Homo-oligomer: A and B are copies of this chain.
C-alpha cells in the first residue's frame, strides 16, 4: 500500500508538465511504478526524485540523451559486473566536465562582479557629476 500518485500529482510536485513526463518516458528517463492493463500511470516517490535529478542535470548542460546514460546510477544498484568500469569512465568524464565548468563559472562570476562595480561607479558618478 505504498500510496502511489497519478501523473497530475507527480507533475505538480516535480514542477514538470505531464506532456514532458510522457516525453521523458518515451526517452526512457522515467517510467511509472505501475500501470494496470492499458490505463493510468501510477508513480512512487522515487519518480519525484528522479525528475528533480533530471532537472538538475539539465541545468548543468547535459542533454536528455546524456542524462539517460547516467540517471540510473543515482537510483539503481550498480549494473552487472562487466559494465562497472565503463560506468566509472562516464563518471570520471562528468567529474572532469564539472571541474572545467566550475572554473569557468568562477571566472565568469569575477567578471560579472567587476562589471557590477564598474556600473555602480558610473551610476554614482552620473548622479552627482
Contact = CB atoms under 8 A, between A and B. Distances in A.
Contacts of A109: 95, 98-99, 102
A122 B81 CA distance: 9
Contact of A115 (B91, B98, B104): B91
Contacts of A92: 116
B98 A108 contact: yes
Contact of A73 (B74, B102, B115, B126): B115
Interface of A: 56-57, 59-61, 73-74, 78, 81, 84-85, 87-88, 91-92, 94-95, 98-99, 101-102, 104-106, 108-109, 111-113, 115-116, 118-120, 122-123, 126
Q: How many copies of this chain?
A: 2
Nearest to A61: B61
Contacts of A94: 112
A102 to B, nearest CB: 6
Given A101-B105, A102-B105, A112 B91 contact: yes
Contact of A88 (B57, B84, B87, B120): B120
